[in-house]
Structure 1
Amino acid sequence: MAPAASAATRVWAVGDGGVEGPADDALASRVAREGLDRLLYLGDVYETGTAREYATNYATSWGRFKRITRPTPGNHEWDNRKEGYDPYWGSRAPRNGGGHYYSFNLDGWHFVSLNSHEDSGPDSPQAAWLARDLKSYPGTCTIAFDHRPRYSAGGHGDAADLEPLYSRLSGSSVALLSGHEHNYQRLRPQRGITQFVVGSGGRELSELDISDPRLAAFDYRSHGALELVIRRGRADYRFVRTDGSRRDAGSLRCRPHARRPRVRILSPGSGGLYGTLRSVSGRSGGARGPIRLTVVREVDGRCRVFDGRRFRRASCRTRRWVRSVGVRRWRRRLPRALARGRYRVTARATGAVDQRASSTVRFTVR
């Protein structure tokens, strides 16, 4: 889920890392030390993506981040997907109409996982799905990821068969993240999209044509992963090697899909003293769905949280919430007689693309 408006979210991307040996383990440990909120795994579990290889080669390295990973299938595991990829990832890799492609939102950004091993022709189900998906996101703060790169200076070269997908991304996305080539590449933008190749997750590295004029940055001598720090309208990127050194860094700018939501608590007033209080109310803008309210009472260092009917014992850091009635002008009734004590009310609003806003007031009942 997206963090509060003042925070930034750290997304890492890497592929070609489910291998035997220590290289992927060491790089995964580096990423863990750096810190992350989401991992995009760009495909390939070696050698053929069997259930056993997921358990021995992937789960022991990049699998430590499984709970926060969003994957795309690689060519090595594709043929055995029913044994390996599908059961291992389950709901973390949703399928649309049976296809291995999906999208999700994170902190104001839209992410699209494409499958470079299924039909990607202009009349394919995947191309039609992508066109429908992008219609809901009028800005350009979209990042796509797949396994095979559309453009590459590596040994596999360009993937012309992916052009129908790439052409649909043009004008709607600022980056395409891929693996497949066992090196790092950042190519100069093509039709507004920066192609990153991050197949440097642990497999034996491979060289590339460093004379390719499209190359803006590259590294074929070091394993590493790409970090993206995403904020509203901006993503800062850097390629981080296993030893912690940086090879490439910069920023991507985009046009946000929607404005961040707003929420304000009008009653109770901050710092107010009350003999009784019958409800909490306020206003919001740009919110999708009801406001989430957390009402906590604190007495002598112990807390209780309102569950919709009564106050129940809870941690003072609880985020348990109840829904408001109404959205733009919202309200929530409280129990008739509030016990004496100090209270904290937090209102949280969720907007388009899972952007969030919150407001907190404290008051006292005496």
Structure 2
Amino acid sequence: YGIQVNGTTYEGDSYYFKTAPPTGSKQKVRIWAMGDAGDGSPNQREVRDAYLKRIQNDNRQTDAVLFLGDNAYAIGTDEEYQNNFFNIYQDYFFKNNVIWAIPGNHEYYSGVQSRREIAYFQIFSQPQNGESGGVPSGSEMNYSFDYGNVHVVALDSYGIEQDKYRLYDTLSPQVEWLKKDLAANRLPWTIVMFHHPPYTKNSHDSDTETELVLIRQNLNPILERYKVDLVLSGHSHLYERSRPTRGHTGLAPTFNEAAHLTSTSSGKYDNSPNSCAYVKNGGDEGVIYVVAGSSGRNNGLDGPAHPAMPFKNFQNGGSVVIEVEDNRLNYEWLCNDGVVRDQFTIFKNVNKTTQLKARHGEVVTLTPSWKGATSWSNGSNQPTLSFTLTGDTTLTVRDEAGCLLDRFVVSVSEKPALSFDKPLANACAGAALSVPFSVTNTDHNRWKYTLQLSDNQGNFSQPVTLSTESNEAFSATLPTSLPSGDNYRLRIVANVAGIAPVVSANFSIQQKPSATLSGAATIEAGQSTPLTLQFSGSGPWTYQLSNNAPATTSSNPLTISVSPLTTTVYTVTSVSNACGTGTTNGNARVEVTPKIATQMPVGIILCDESVFDLPFTVTGGFDTGIGFEAQLSDKEGNFTTSRTVGSGSQSPLKVTIPANVEIGGNYRLRIKPTQNANANLTPSDVFSLKQRAKATLSGDTTIAFGGEAKLKLSVQGTFPVTYVLSDNNTASVSNNVSSISVKPALETTYTLKSVTNVCGNGSVGGNARVSVLLTAIAPVSDEDLRVLPNPTHSKVKVEAKVFSQKSGDWELLDAQGKTLNKGHFRKGTLHGLDISLEDTVPGAYLLRFVVEGQTIVRKVVKL
């Protein structure tokens, strides 16, 4: 950032500050607080330097700097602020840190206590409208702000509101706002700062000074009610700190540890005697009060400590360093010589008992409720503990000092169970065995499972291990040496605790089957023949013949009727019984003579040079792959002198009728196999052939404009024949020679686009050129009638001097004489007549002008 003062801009790498994190975030927050700092003394500078030296190597920004009043001695004037405040700090941390301040009594000594006209309020601009969090105060005296998960409240303990209220007046606007702000706060940590301390001795005395007595009596209960964690004050020029305190509003002699402390620990959390951290779990755990009034002025007395404030230091100046991360607050009193002479730690929402449920085999991760070193009951010292749950488990974790204890009771949500997916069928010695099984309520793929076989009496005293798997199906082979029996059982055992073994029902082990096939034969396509299947082993038998579906029988031998469509070699592909799969032998070859039937496509018309697909059916088949050919009979339907008109390997065949075949007749088609293969052939029905159309155009001639020309059309083929002329005129004819009338507007060469009849498209040829003579009312030169530009891309302008005194009409015609556009012009208006060709395609066009019955024509070309 940069700032401008009196026209001079100050900016650079050292002009930066850190923005606040999202409200409620749990990241580490560092707060530095100083009270009664601004006296310009060496102690003030030493306190400053001790803190800056402390943080210089940790690469962390200070998040908030708090000044607790009496910031500039002796009376808080603008000059004293410059000399004892800005000159001391501005080159060290003011450029980069947000300053949050409150006034003390010395700020008001330069003005009136009930007015905000002192230098403090000119120097500091604090949030009055909730800009930094909290409830808007609407006042310069008090405000609050949020930083991470810390809520800080700043109060004015010396100023007078409405000419009558001090901070200790519970009806004051400041206290009314305080209660609303604390009630609205949802952040876990609350720090309140005001200058005058509720408890202090040896610089000021909270038993004899009325304003301190009233603050303790009236303000402390509010702070305790809203569970404030820490109160920071100054005023007394020494250091004092309480334990978590509640309910004490009387004089010092009335303080009773048993009644007024929620913890007698020092809170230092440094493994010294009675130093466990303070714990606040949402109950009435008291408030810690701090007097940090020696950050500059340091003239406290070495008298007896206030009983509520046992931690005291009057020799050294110092400042408060607070670090908050998630649910842990660390506090230090950092003295001007760099020594930390007091500290404490607070934890919130710790010492928990957590009930958890998880699946057997699930990896459970446990995290203590505090930040810091840990010691788990299973010996681990990791910050978090992950383990695989195989049974109900209770684990505890302590902090390094033995002050905190979390208990985790982890139960298996549902006990895991093994089961066989289906009853076991009878089996054969030496046979492959597939045993699907299920494991519920655990991550089954993480474990291994062993399949065991009992003896033939069902006992597992010496089980046989058949397979070990990690999925849910066993594949095993039974030993060939097993004796027959009806009382075998299987057992599945898991390799992890918490899963009970499962035992199957009894099943039998028997001998394997075999099957032999016979019955070779020769048949015609469509006939049937018997095959014989001979079994051995125990019935019933399940067999599969070639590619047929499996079947089961108790008959031995078994006769099977088959009707193959092609020559087939039958085999027994499998045989099984209650014991499993056996062996197969033999085969039966059935020879089949095929049939071929030719079908004409429904409604087809055949012509010379017709190309079409001819379908056929084959009943039966051939030993090897074979080709087919299509034959065309003679005109009488006989195949003695047939012609091959197509070939291929499957139906349909692509057939082409020859061009030189005789028209009409009683023709037939048939399909026959190549390579002299034996088959019965059925030809198609009788059909006659049509002739494809051929047409030639001729008749060059010359006509006058508007005249008619006759073209000659010569046609061959089966009538009627339909032609399409090059000008898209079409008609049908039934004669070999026909006349076609045309009326072109320009010279045109006519051709035939197409000619068709019942056979489809025929062939066309020839052309006819018609020349057109253009006439006008009188010889008109290009100077008298100008059409410009010509050629053109879009439009022409017509300039006609000779007709400037006459009216008439104009037309735009295409080459076939079709009017595309027209209009009327009056005499004297023909100059500058614009005619558009925007909607026409490139080509030649005519402009025709009719004036008093006479015609003038001009040719126009569009590019």
Shared fold, TM over 0.5: yes
1:103 and 2:144 correspond: yes
Kept after mapping to 1: 8 A contact 2:128/2:138: no
* Structure 2 gap ranges (5+): 1-19, 56-61, 111-115, 130-135, 160-165, 207-211, 247-285, 351-863
Change in Cα spacing, 1:208 to 1:175, as seen in structure 2 (3 Å) is: farther
**Structure 2 matches for 1:1-366, cutoff 5 A?**
1-2=20-21, 7-35=27-55, 36-44=62-70, 45-63=72-90, 64-66=92-94, 67-80=97-110, 82-91=117-126, 96-118=137-159, 119-120=166-167, 121-138=169-186, 141-158=189-206, 159-162=212-215, 163-171=217-225, 172-191=227-246, 192-254=286-348
Taking the aligned partners of 1:177 and 1:54, their CA distance within structure 2 comes to: 22
Matched to 1:230, the amino acid is: V
Please provide the CA RMSD for this pair.
Answer: 2.4
Kept after mapping to 2: 8 A contact 1:153/1:212: yes
Q: Return the offset for 1:29.
A: 2.0
Taking the aligned partners of 1:37 and 1:232, their CA distance within structure 2 comes to: 15
Matched to 1:11, the amino acid is: I
Change in Cα spacing, 1:92 to 1:165, as seen in structure 2 (3 Å) is: same
3-state secondary structure, aligned to 1:46: coil
Taking the aligned partners of 2:189 and 2:203, their CA distance within structure 1 comes to: 30
Change in Cα spacing, 1:88 to 1:206, as seen in structure 2 (3 Å) is: same
Change in Cα spacing, 1:59 to 1:255, as seen in structure 2 (3 Å) is: farther
3-state secondary structure, aligned to 2:291: strand
Taking the aligned partners of 2:148 and 2:139, their CA distance within structure 1 comes to: 28
Q: Return the offset for 1:79.
A: 3.8
Taking the aligned partners of 2:67 and 2:322, their CA distance within structure 1 comes to: 13
Deviations 1:73-96 (A, max 9, x none): 111012436342011112468783
Taking the aligned partners of 1:237 and 1:175, their CA distance within structure 2 comes to: 10
Matched to 2:297, the amino acid is: R
Taking the aligned partners of 1:232 and 1:213, their CA distance within structure 2 comes to: 32
Kept after mapping to 1: 8 A contact 2:295/2:319: yes
Matched to 1:107, the amino acid is: G
Change in Cα spacing, 1:116 to 1:6, as seen in structure 2 (3 Å) is: closer
Higher RCO (C-alpha 8 Å, min separation 6): 1
Taking the aligned partners of 2:155 and 2:26, their CA distance within structure 1 comes to: 30
- TM-score normalised by L of structure 2: 0.28
Q: Return the offset for 1:238.
A: 0.8
Kept after mapping to 1: 8 A contact 2:27/2:326: no
Kept after mapping to 2: 8 A contact 1:130/1:165: no
3-state secondary structure, aligned to 1:144: strand
Taking the aligned partners of 2:128 and 2:318, their CA distance within structure 1 comes to: 24
Change in Cα spacing, 1:156 to 1:109, as seen in structure 2 (3 Å) is: same
Q: Return the offset for 1:107.
A: 1.5
Structure 1 segments of 4 or more deviating over 6 A?
A: 92-95
Change in Cα spacing, 1:150 to 1:140, as seen in structure 2 (3 Å) is: farther
2:387 paired residue number: none
More strand by share: 2
3-state secondary structure, aligned to 1:170: helix
Change in Cα spacing, 1:255 to 1:113, as seen in structure 2 (3 Å) is: farther
Matched to 1:189, the amino acid is: P
* Structure 1 gap ranges (5+): 257-366
3-state secondary structure, aligned to 1:154: coil
Change in Cα spacing, 1:11 to 1:139, as seen in structure 2 (3 Å) is: closer
Deviations 1:250-282 (A, max 9, x none): 1123469xxxxxxxxxxxxxxxxxxxxxxxxxx
Deviations 1:211-257 (A, max 9, x none): 4322231110001111100122221001111121110111123469x
More helix by share: 1
Q: Return the offset for 1:209.
A: 3.4
Taking the aligned partners of 1:26 and 1:155, their CA distance within structure 2 comes to: 21
3-state secondary structure, aligned to 2:81: helix
Taking the aligned partners of 1:177 and 1:149, their CA distance within structure 2 comes to: 8
Q: Return the offset for 1:166.
A: 2.2
Counting aligned pairs with the same residue, the percent is 29
Matched to 2:63, the amino acid is: D
3-state secondary structure, aligned to 2:87: coil
3-state secondary structure, aligned to 2:125: helix
Q: Return the offset for 1:39.
A: 1.0
3-state secondary structure, aligned to 1:90: coil
Q: Return the offset for 1:139.
A: 5.9
Q: Return the offset for 1:141.
A: 1.5
Kept after mapping to 2: 8 A contact 1:107/1:232: no
Deviations 1:192-224 (A, max 9, x none): 111000001111321153343222311100011
Matched to 2:294, the amino acid is: S
Taking the aligned partners of 2:305 and 2:119, their CA distance within structure 1 comes to: 38
- TM-score normalised by L of structure 1: 0.65
